[in-house]
Structure 1
Amino acid sequence: MNQPLYRLAAFSTDPTKGNPTGVWIGDRLPDAETMQAIAAEVGYSETAFIVPTSGETRTIRYYSPLAEVSFCGHATIASAVMLGHLSGTGIYQLDTRAGRVPVKVYRANGQIQATLTSVEPRHKPASEGLVNDVLKLLGWSFDELDPTLPPTVAYGGVWHLVLAAHSQDRLNRLDYDFDKLAALMAREGVTTLQLVFRETNDLFHSRNPFPLGGVVEDPATGAAAAALGGYLRDAQLMDVPGKFLIRQGEAMGRLSLLQVEVPAQGGIIVAGTAVEIT
Structure 2
Amino acid sequence: MLRYSAFADGPEGGNPAGVVLDAAGLGEREMLEIAREVGYSETAFVTEEGARDPAGPARFGVRYFSPAAEVPFCGHATVALAAALAARTGPGAYVFGTAAGEVALDTVADAAGTVSVSFTSVDTRTRPFGGAPLRELLGLLGLAPDDLDPAFPPLESFAGNWHPMLVLKDRGLFHQFRFAPREVARLMRERGWTGTVTVLSVRGPHEYEARNLFPVGRITEDPATGSAAASTGAYLRAIGRAEPGDRVVIRQGAHVGRPSVLVVDVPARGGVTVTGGAIPIDG
TM-score normalised by length of structure 2: 0.93
Quick check: 1:14–1:275 contact (8 Å CA) kept in 2? no
Q: Secondary structure at the match of 1:263?
A: coil
Match of 2:244 in 1: 240
Q: CA deviation at 1:52?
A: 4.2
Q: CA 1:36–1:57 in structure 2 vs 1: closer, same or farther (change >3 Å)?
A: same
- Deviation (angstroms), 1:235: 2.5
The question of whether the paired residues in 2 share the 8 Å contact of 1:8 and 1:21 is answered with yes
5 Å-filtered alignment, 1:1-278, equals: 5-12=1-8, 14-26=10-22, 28-52=24-48, 55=52, 56-108=58-110, 110=112, 111-191=114-194, 192-278=196-282
Asked if the contact 1:8–1:15 (Cα under 8 Å) also holds between the matched residues in 2, the reply is no
Moved more, 45-54 or 229-238: 45-54
8 A Cα contact 1:71 1:96, kept in partner: yes
CA distance in 1, matches of 2:23, 2:168: 45
| Percent sequence identity over aligned pairs | 38
Letter paired with 1:18: G
Q: Give the SS at the match of 2:224.
A: coil
| CA distance, structure 2, for counterparts of residue 161 and residue 76 of structure 1 | 21
Q: Is the 8 A contact 2:43 2:66 kept in 1?
A: yes
SS in 1 for 2:274: strand
Instruction: Give 2:190's aligned amino acid.
Output: R
- Tell me, in whole angstroms, the C-alpha distance in 2 between the residues paired with 1:13 and 1:180: 31
Instruction: Report runs of 4+ in structure 1 exceeding 6 Å deviation.
Output: none
| 1:243-264: CA deviation from partner (whole Å, max 9, x where unpaired) | 1100000111100110000011
Letter in 1 for 2:106: K
Unaligned runs of 5+ in 1: none
Cα RMSD for the two superposed structures: 1.4
In structure 1, distance between residues paired with 2:91 and 2:136: 46
* Residues 39 and 27 of structure 1, relative CA distance in 2, 3 Å threshold: closer
Structure 1 partner of 2:55:
none
Deviates more, 1:172-181 or 1:32-41: 172-181
Distance 2:148 2:154 in 1: 9
Q: CA deviation at 1:239?
A: 2.0
1:13–1:273 CA contact under 8 A, matched in 2: no
Quote the offset at 1:13 in angstroms. Answer: 6.2
CA distance in 1, matches of 2:119, 2:98: 12
Aligned-pair distance for 1:143? Answer: 1.3
